[in-house]
Amino acid sequence: MSITTENLNYLGTLIANSSAEQPEKHEMLSFLADMEQAQKEMDKLLLTLAVMFDQNDMQEMGTECRKFVFK
């Protein structure tokens, strides 16, 4: 199950409004930003795989890859 940008934004809001000290807040928010970037990279990889499957007459596999990105 992938985490969406909406989920990350919600978590960021919870962290920003929490009673945690500023250094801890910054560390947690940085971690969420890293997770968002990793999700984007994974989506890019899945779309690249989908194109490769399509080009090799494996459209069903390409469709399955796209399902992970476009839920």
pLDDT tens, residue by residue, 5-54: 788 888 889 998 989 898 999 999 999 889 889 888 999 999 999 999 99
Say if residue 58's pLDDT is above 90.
Answer: yes
The answer to whether residue 3 scores a pLDDT higher than 90 is no
How is the chain split into domains, by residue range? 5-69
Do 12 and 29 touch, CB atoms closer than 8 A? yes
Structure confidence at residue 4 (pLDDT): 75
CB of 49 closer than 8 Å to CB of 30: no
Name the more confident of 23 and 4.
23
pTM for the full model?
0.73
Res 2: pLDDT: 63
